[in-house]
Amino acid sequence: MAAAHLPSLDSRVLRAGDRGGQPPGGPGPALSGAAGQHALFAIGAGGAGPLAAILAAAGTAGEFRHRTAAATFLAEPRRARVITAKLVVYLLAGAAYALACVAVSLAVALPWLAARGTPVSLAAHGNLAVLGAVIISVALFGMTGAGLGALLGSEVITIAGLLLYLYVAEPLLSRISALGSWTAYLPGVAADGLTQASQAGVRLLPPWPGGLVFAAWAAVIACAGTAVTARRDIT
């Protein structure tokens, strides 16, 4: 999803920080302006979302692999309640993980940029809103991963499917211009729309629509995972 779109932008923006402006030979935005600062903060914790999804998927699906789900559902026969609790836990864990990633990114990036003559203010250009969007995005990734783990019930299949989608299928689809009218609604691209982690050649939704689309994907996957788990034979 989102992480698959970030590395090239990351390098362009960080190179721009050395001069406080346009990177040599690249289209990256200058860090002195709003676009460059938004890109910097959007990519600062760029790997957090997919990692949160993978860890959440492993945690949920792992119960079926290690056969601990049977004991869990014996203790609490209402399976929907158990899965809902897991979804909430991984949603909150994703938000906490994003906060930690953002804190580390700021602790490293802000002094580094200031030392190179490009001071960046969190209060300017709506940067705090971008950081908030990053935290929401990673939280939704955590819930999405937990929902997928519950839906598929296989740790290996879930993680392999996530990796193939994140780093192969969606990046390829999102760069086919003929499909641009609907690829903005794919979950990872919608997540990029929420944080505005822009990439050349990829159409993004504005932050609010992007966030709503990504939240809708997370909710649908979570509901599907809950419904399938309620009917799954775990003996």
Rounded distance, CA 41 to CA 105, Å?
A: 8
Look at the block and give the residue holding tokens 């692999």. 65
Look at the block and give the residue holding tokens 């402006």. 21
Give the pLDDT confidence score for residue 31 in this predicted structure: 73
Contact (Cβ atoms closer than 8 angstroms) between residue 222 and residue 53:
no
What dihedral do alpha carbons 44, 217, 82, 48 form, nearest 10°?
Answer: -10
Cα dist. 46→25, 41, 115, 167, 195 in Å?
A: 24, 9, 24, 13, 10
Q: What average pLDDT values come out for the chain (235 residues) when binned by 10 residues?
A: 44 42 51 74 76 94 85 89 96 95 88 84 84 94 96 93 93 86 92 81 89 97 95 80
Give the pLDDT confidence score for residue 29 in this predicted structure: 66
Give the pLDDT confidence score for residue 152 in this predicted structure: 94
Instruction: Indicate the angle between helix axes 155-164 and 48-65, nearest 10 degrees.
Output: 160
Give the phi and the psi of residue 208 in degrees, each rounded to 5.
-65, -50
Confidence (pTM): 0.84
What ranges in 116-179 are assigned the alpha helix state H?
127-152, 155-164, 170-174
Rounded distance, CA 10 to CA 121, Å?
A: 19
Give the pLDDT confidence score for residue 161 in this predicted structure: 95
